Amino acid sequence: MVITGTTKILSVIGNPISHSLSPIIHNAAIEHLGLDYRYLAFPVASERLATVLDGFAAIGLVGSSVTIPHKQAIMPLLAEISPLAQAVGAVNTIWNARTGWHGTNTDVAGFVSPLAAMQRDWSNTTAVVLGNGGAARAVVVGCHQLGCGKIQVVGRDVAKLERFQSSWAAIQLPMTGSETQQQVTITTHLWTELPALIDKDNLLLVNSTPIGMYPQIEDSPISVEMIQGIGANSIAYDLIYTPHPTKFLQLAKNAGMMTIDGTEMLVQQGATAFELWLKQPAPIDIMRQALIRQLHDIQT
């Protein structure tokens, strides 16, 4: 595709950013649809974030993905933040609106998408979320949107867990569509409590730690013993996408659980952002194929 004087720009900003897979995913979609756009990765130092946003506005950049370390830092620089991003406490997608930069968080939609496709009643499901970092916050909001009966978050630092737990008290968690707001209990626990949290009948076990991520591919956040005798109705979901699959998902699959890896969340959060920017359906299959091809190339 030719870059001309009318070509519009989308981007991802972060630091470092050269490892980002978002340009692969978005440019595959742009090319497939024959759009006059390009999606570029810009390394942005924290102290330049405000200057970069002004510059982006000046050149009419349409929208951008936002990644580490700017997901929280960008929030005070925006004219409007969606309730969803406020609940998560992080913005990963911005767009240039008439009133200034608007921001939202598409990680929640990305996380929820493969689960929502299962079309089941989640009210009897116990969600156990491993880790209490940034991604865990999107997972908690996602589990709440699905209507999981219990949401139990596991971490290693008592002070961080207490902050995590209390942070939700002041937040009105947004639901999607027509679901009615229901009471959901979010509890926090240390790793030593994990075996007792495993509901063998109806579990959604989510790894939102980097345990098992390349190059530590032999590591797993859970042991075989913890999931022995687990029902086939239970789901193991790893946010990690390299390796593909992780040790955690291999153990879960051997124990008879359904498994979901991080590639789908990555594709779906990108697709949600793409649709916000371009106001047309994202070619999700094309985006997924491009990502899987790239991950395959990285791993071989």
Residues lying near ligand NAP in the complex (CB under 6 A)? 107, 110, 131-136, 155-157, 160, 208-211, 213, 239-241, 262, 265-266, 269
Structure tokens at 273: 């952002």
Q: What is the DSSP string of 139-203?
A: HHHHHHHHT-SEEEEEES-HHHHHHHHHHTTT--PPP-TTPPP---EEEEEEGGGHHHH--SSSE
Distance CA 258, CA 262 (A): 14
Given the residues 8, 71, 150, 160, the one annotated as active site: 71
Nearer to ligand NAP, 61 or 135 (CB): 135
Give the DSSP letter of residue 48: G
Comparing CB distances to ligand NAP, the nearer of 36 and 162 is 162
Radius of gyration of the chain (CA): 19
CA-CA distance, 61 to 7, in Å (whole number)?
10
Measured from the CB atom, the residue of 203 and 222 that comes closer to ligand NAP is: 222
CB of 67 to ligand NAP, least distance (A): 9
Based on the residue annotation, tell me whether 71 is a catalytic residue of this protein: yes
Residue 111 beta carbon to ligand NAP: minimum distance, rounded to whole angstroms: 8
Nearer to ligand NAP, 157 or 201 (CB): 157
Residue number with the smallest Cβ distance to ligand NAP: 133
d(CA 213, CA 298): 14
Provide the edge-to-edge strand list for the sheet that holds 63-66.
37-43, 8-14, 63-66, 93-97, 100-104, 80-81
Q: Rounded CA gap, 12 and 20, in Å?
A: 8
The C-alpha atoms of residue 147 and residue 124 are separated, in whole angstroms, by 9
The minimum distance between CB 131 and ligand NAP, in angstroms, equals 4
Q: Which two tokens stand for residue 113?
A: 């998408």
Considering beta carbons, is residue 197 or 202 the nearer one to ligand NAP? 197
Catalytic residues: 71
